[in-house]
Amino acid sequence: MKKECKKRIVLFLVALLVGALGAMAAASAEEFNWQRFAGTRIRLVADKHPAADAVYPHIPEFEKLTGIKVEYEILPEIQARQKKVVELASRSATLDAFVIAWHVEKKGFYDAGWITPLNNYLKDPTLTAPDYDWEDFTPAVRDISTQPDDSVTFLMQQIDPWILYYRKDIFRQRGIAIPQTLDEMEEIARKLNDPANDFYSVVYRGLKYANTPVWCILLFKYGGDFFDKEGEPAINSPAGIKAADWYARMLRNYGAPGVVNFNWYECSSTFMAERAAMYFDGIGFAGQFEDPEKSKVVGKTGYTLFPAGPGGRYAGTFGGGYSVSRYSANKEAAYLFITWATNKENTLRVALSGVGTGRVSVLQNPDYIRESPMPSDWRETFIESLKIARLGLPEIAAVGEFRDIVGIALVNAIEGGDVKALMDEANKKFKQLLLRTEPERYR
C-alpha cells in the first residue's frame, strides 16, 4: 500500500512539473450536443464543502446550457453520508448523482454495487464534451478515481492534503518560529494558551468520527500504520498509543471548550473568529480565511506543513468527487452534469476558492496564479504537501465504522480516559469489524 501511495504522488509531481498533457478532443466544443437530455430532471446529494460553494451558484449556467433541471441537497458530511447510504441501499431511482469522499466511500460503495462505472461514458464523444480532457487530470488523480478492476467510479472535485494553519501575526509579534516538530508545536501551545481571554492555542476536530483522520496522520508521524507486517490490526501499537495521547493531551490542555463536539465547521469558525493560534485540517478550507466577509484573520493566517513526528513528516491526504448512482433512471444526464461540474472552468473556480485541485492545466493556468486569493505560502504548501502525501485512512470497505471505533476512543481520551486501554479496546473492535466485513483477509 505504501509503495502504491508513493507511486501516485510521484506520478502527480511528474505531471505537474512536466506540463499539461495533450488534449483528446477532435471536434470543437460548439459541435457537442449539450441539449441532448433537455427536459430531464436530476437530483444530487452533496457534502457541505468550500468546493461546493465555488461551483453550485453556477448551476443555472448548466441548466441553461443543457435544459436539464438540477435539484440538489447540500448537507453536513455525516448527514450527507447517512442519506446516501440509505438511498443507495434502498436502490432509490430518484438519486442520480452524489459527491463521494474517495477516502471513505470509494471501496465500500463500489463493492456494494452502488456506483456506475464511467469508462464507456468517458470514451463516448456524444456524452463527453471534447474539451473535458480526462487526461488533463494528473495520473495520480486518475489512479485514485479507478478501482482495482480498472473501473473509473468518480470524477475528482478536490484533493485535500492536511496542513497547519497558524496566526502569523501573533507568531511574529511573539518572536515564535514555525514549529517543525510535534514537540515544538506543543511548546508553542504552552506559551500561547490564554483561556481567560477566550483564546486557545489549538483547535482541531474532536467530534467522534470527524476526529479519526487527525489521529491517523499522527499515527504515521509516530512511525505507525493501521496494520502490522502480518496484516493484523495494529492501531494499539506504541505509535498508535502515542498518537492518541498527543492528540488528546493537546486538546485537553490547550483546546477550546466543547471541542469534543467540533467538526471542521466549528474549528474553522473558531479560527476565523481569532480564538485560536493554530488549526490543523485540510488545505481546502483555507479560502474562507482570506474572505473579509467571513473572517477576522484575513492576511493574518500562515500556511505550512504540519510538523514532523519521530516517525517522519507526512501530509494525510483526502479528497472528493462525483459519482453516478447505479440505480439512477437518468444516468447519462447525471454524467453530463458531473463532467460539467469537474470541467476546466469549474475546476478553476474551485482552485480560485482556495481548494486543492488535480487538473494540470488549472494548476499552471496564469489566471489561477495571478488571481488566486491565496498567498504564495498556501500554494507552496500545497505542492510540498503532495510530495509527502499519504492516504489518510485505511483502504477498507467499512471506513465509516472504523472512524466510529477510533473516534469514540479519542473522545474518551480527551475526557481523561486511559489511552492504552482505550486503544487496546479499539484494536479489538477493529479486528472484529474486519472479520465481519472483509472475512477474505483471514481465509
Same domain, 95 and 33: yes
Q: How far apart are CA 276 and CA 409, in angstroms?
A: 25
Instruction: Judge if 214 and 285 occupy the same domain.
Output: yes
Residue 1 has pLDDT above 50, yes or no: no
- Range name among 6-20, 165-179, 378-392 with the lowest pLDDT average: 6-20
pTM for the complete prediction?
Answer: 0.79
Q: Quick one: average pLDDT of 387-406?
A: 91
Nearest to 194, CA basis, from 170, 227, 164: 170
Instruction: Quote the cell numbers at residue 152.
Output: 473509473
Q: What is the pLDDT of residue 20?
A: 37
CATH number at residue 436: 3.40.190.10
pLDDT at 358: 86
pLDDT digits (tens, 9 = 90+) for 209-225: 999 999 999 999 999 99
Give yes or no for residue 55 having a pLDDT over 50.
Answer: yes
Considering the chain, what percentage of its residues have pLDDT values greater than 90? 75
- Say how many domains are in the chain: 2
**What mean pLDDT comes out for the span 137-161?**
90
Element (H, E) at 282: strand 276-282
pLDDT at 2 over 50: no
Same domain, 307 and 322: no
Q: Do residue 280 and residue 191 come from a single domain?
A: yes
pLDDT value of residue 7: 47
In whole angstroms, give the CA distance from residue 163 to residue 178.
13
* Same domain as 400, residue 380: no
The residue range of the domain holding 242 is 161-316+395-442
Stretch 76-96: mean pLDDT, rounded? Answer: 94
Share of the chain above pLDDT 70, in %: 93
Q: In this structure, what DSSP letter does residue 226 have? A: S
DSSP state of 90: T
Q: How far apart are CA 231 and CA 284, in angstroms?
A: 33
pLDDT in tens, 251-269: 999 999 999 999 999 999 9
pLDDT tens column, 296-324 = 999 999 999 999 999 999 999 888 999 99
Residues 8 and 92 in one domain: yes
Residue 234's CB is within 10 A of a number of other CB atoms, namely 19
Q: How confident is the model at residue 30 (pLDDT cuts 50, 70, 90)?
A: low
Q: In a 3-state reduction of DSSP, which class is residue 182?
A: helix
Residues 236 and 274 in one domain: yes
| 10 pLDDT above the threshold of 60 | no
Chain mean pLDDT for the chain: 91
Q: What is the DSSP letter of 79?
A: H
pLDDT at position 11 over 80: no
Burial of 163 (0-12, 13-18, 19+ CB in 10 A): buried
CB-CB neighbours of 347 under 10 Å: 28
What are φ and ψ of residue 237, in 5° steps? -65, 165
**Does 117 share its domain with 166?**
no
> What are the DSSP E strand ranges found in 283-343?
301-304, 315-324
* Cell 493554530 sits on residue: 278
Tell me if 312 sits within 8 A of 223, measured CB to CB.
yes
